[in-house]
Amino acid sequence: MPPDCFHLDPHGLERPDVVVAHEPFRFLIATAQLREAGREALLRDFPRYGSAGFFPYRERDCGPSIRALVAEFSGSAFARSLGARLGIPDLGGFPAIATLSDSVHRRHGTIHTDSACKIATALLYLNPSWPAGDAGCLRLLRRGDDIDALAAPAIPPLYGSLVAFRRADNSWHGHLPFEGARRVLQVAWLASAADATRKDRRGQFSRMVKTLAGRLDRRWRAGRTIDAGH
């Protein structure tokens, strides 16, 4: 399949329906950012980790269409386009790391801002449908102690939906508890190469622990409250 059948729409972030906000922090919400012609290949090639949560991108885990999408999503051209919308014109000059998740447990999605070493984060969803209602839908928040303090409507993690934000001390986000399949590709731009290396190593260690822990990982914090943070 030729690359232009599944990559991001090169002008997708310029469309008038893209939501760009400056308060309470800078964020962007866009839909239909992936070409429909590539849907079947992307869903087929998305990794199946066998454990929940985010894992560092490794080529060996993914099929060819996902490898191509990661290259584009984490590339300098997309970073320039996204940075222009988030007020970070030099975003492409920061090191980027990609992580993927094919499922979550109920403990995931607690309210947080992202670590201070992150410059910006972008999430691209690849779920063909979302029958779970509000559960598992990303919420951008005005406060760190209230999952209902919405800065924008909750975003269903549907195929082609993209959310990005500039990391800040108040860039609160999270989602209601959900357990099951939830496919998402995340790219984060970090302050330094050392930060990127550290994040990647930590993610690889986490993958090993989750593989060994099995059911314990699923049970840990499964009863967390909807306003829980980390």
- Dump pLDDT digits (tens) for 119-153: 999 999 999 999 989 999 999 999 999 999 999 99
Residue 227 banded pLDDT, cuts 50, 70, 90: low
C-alpha distances in angstroms, 151 versus 26, 28, 33, 140, 211?
A: 11, 11, 22, 6, 36
The Cα 22–Cα 29 span in angstroms is 12
Predicted TM-score (pTM) of this structure? 0.88
Element containing residue 218 per DSSP (H, E) = helix 215-219
CATH architecture of 3-219: Sandwich (2.60)
| pLDDT tens for each residue of 147-156 | 999 999 999 9
> Per mean pLDDT, which range of 21-30, 95-104, 193-202, 212-221 is the poorest?
212-221
Residue type, position 106, single letter: R
Which pLDDT belongs to residue 208? Answer: 64
**pLDDT greater than 80 at residue 218:** no
The ranges assigned to domains in the chain are: 3-219
